[in-house]
Amino acid sequence: MNPKVDTYLENVSQWQMELTLLREIILECILTEEFKWKNPCYTYNKKNILIIGGFKDNCVISFLKGALLSDPEKILFKPGENSQSARVVRFTDGYQITQKKDLLKAYISEAIEIEKAGLKVEFKKDEKLELPAELQQKLKELPNFKTAFEALTPGRQRGYVLHFSGAKQSKTVVARIQKYIPLILKGKGINDCTCGLSKRMPSCDGSHKNITAK
């Protein structure tokens, strides 16, 4: 048991009982308990297998290579529309967890065997990005912005396009684009570190939140 996870569970405002139940089930399996990305993380031979955490409407156990699990009971779901590897099981009360205890342990055992075998998720190549009209217009208006955007890696471009396209109203799309122009001009992705304190460079790990205002 990792003391950092003890502290995490003592201080969570939601799903404390449910996350504790999930932890107890996982600790009965041959996994090492760590604390990564501000959540309890469980590893096998230093390889990340799964994470548990809480959200507003539910708590989850997230299998990082869940796409490779057989999922005979169809309890796994994509955490996001574009997720290719991770799969989650969602819970809204402790009873659901205790009812699925044996099933969860079976899924965990399969996840461990997948890691032992060295299996990897085959990621699909990104299809050609369909840029929102508002972004196309801004690229025409600002040549320097166009050059900077096209210089971004495909993954960074995709991140911005998904964020911009997620807005329902055109004015919101424009506002989002305007907000991130300075970051794009610096060659940064939407989730890149900008404070220089991240321990997971170039990605942001939330370290900027520890900067005290002067």
pLDDT digits (tens, 9 = 90+) for 174-214: 999 999 999 999 999 988 866 666 555 555 555 555 554 43
The region of weakest confidence among 31-35, 46-50, 80-84, 128-132 is 80-84
Looking at residue 212, what is its pLDDT?
A: 47
| Interval 140-175: pLDDT, tens | 999 999 999 999 988 889 889 989 988 889 999 999
Q: How far is CA 33 from CA 37, 58, 88, 133, in A?
A: 13, 22, 18, 47
CATH of domain 3-116: 3.90.1150.200
The token pair that represents 69 in the structure block: 């699990």
Q: In this prediction, what percent of the chain has a pLDDT beyond 70?
A: 87
Q: Facing residues of 41 across strands? A: 34, 51
Band (17; pLDDT cuts 50, 70, 90): very high
Nearest-5° Cα angle at 94, 93 to 98? 135
Q: Judge contact between 86 and 79, C-beta under 8 A.
A: yes
The domain ranges of the chain are 3-116, 125-214
